[in-house]
């Protein structure tokens, strides 16, 4: 179980990552899809050079819940795969590490389309 201070760090780290997104959104007029792509790639790069790991230790879910954390999981999976299985692992590692999230997104997305209809826009 995490302590109260842990939660404060989660809040601060997660919040700050979102502020970076907001600044990009406000000042560069990037669309949200581009920001998502940018964030996941940024997560991969920061993770590869070893910057994201300490951030994760400090911010826990604050670092893993934003999409940069998704990139971090991808990169760590690929690095671990490369370490254990060589080139094959470099290909399989990233997706393996994030398979749960990707499969969940597919399944829940499909289910949502079955059960929900979009609200009519005004």
Residues 14-73 that bind other proteins (CB under 8 A): 14-19, 21-27, 32-33, 35-37, 39-41, 43-45, 47-48, 59-62, 64-71, 73
Residue number, 22 or 51, with CB nearest to other proteins = 22
Residue 102 tokens read as 């990707």
What does the alpha-carbon distance between residue 69 and residue 39 come to, in Å, rounded to a whole number?
Answer: 9
Query: What's the burial of 30, exposed, middle or buried (CB within 10 Å: 0-12/13-18/19+)?
Result: middle
Q: How far is the CB of 51 from other proteins (least distance, A)?
A: 13
What does the alpha-carbon distance between residue 17 and residue 35 come to, in Å, rounded to a whole number?
Answer: 12
What does the alpha-carbon distance between residue 78 and residue 26 come to, in Å, rounded to a whole number?
Answer: 33
Say whether residue 2 binds other proteins (CB under 8 A). Answer: yes
Q: Which of 5, 11, 53, 57 binds other proteins (CB under 8 A)?
A: 11
What does the alpha-carbon distance between residue 85 and residue 122 come to, in Å, rounded to a whole number?
Answer: 54
Residue number, 39 or 51, with CB nearest to other proteins = 39
What does the alpha-carbon distance between residue 9 and residue 50 come to, in Å, rounded to a whole number?
Answer: 20
Q: How far is the CB of 96 from other proteins (least distance, A)?
A: 10
Q: Site residues for other proteins, window 85-114 (CB under 8 A)?
A: 86-87, 89-91, 93-95, 97-102, 104-106, 108-113
Residue number, 51 or 111, with CB nearest to other proteins = 111
């Amino acid at each position: 179980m995490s302590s109260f201070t842990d939660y404060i760090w989660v809040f601060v780290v997660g919040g700050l990552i979102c502020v970076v997104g907001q600044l990009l959104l406000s000042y560069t007029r990037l669309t949200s899809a581009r920001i998502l792509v940018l964030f996941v790639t940024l997560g991969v790069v920061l993770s590869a050079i070893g910057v994201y790991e300490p951030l994760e230790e400090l911010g826990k879910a604050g670092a893993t819940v934003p999409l940069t954390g998704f990139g971090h999981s991808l990169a760590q999976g690929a690095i671990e795969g490369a370490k254990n299985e060589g080139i094959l692992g470099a290909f399989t590692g990233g997706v393996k590490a994030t398979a749960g999230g990707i499969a969940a997104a597919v399944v829940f997305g499909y289910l949502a389309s079955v059960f929900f209809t979009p609200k009519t826009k005004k």
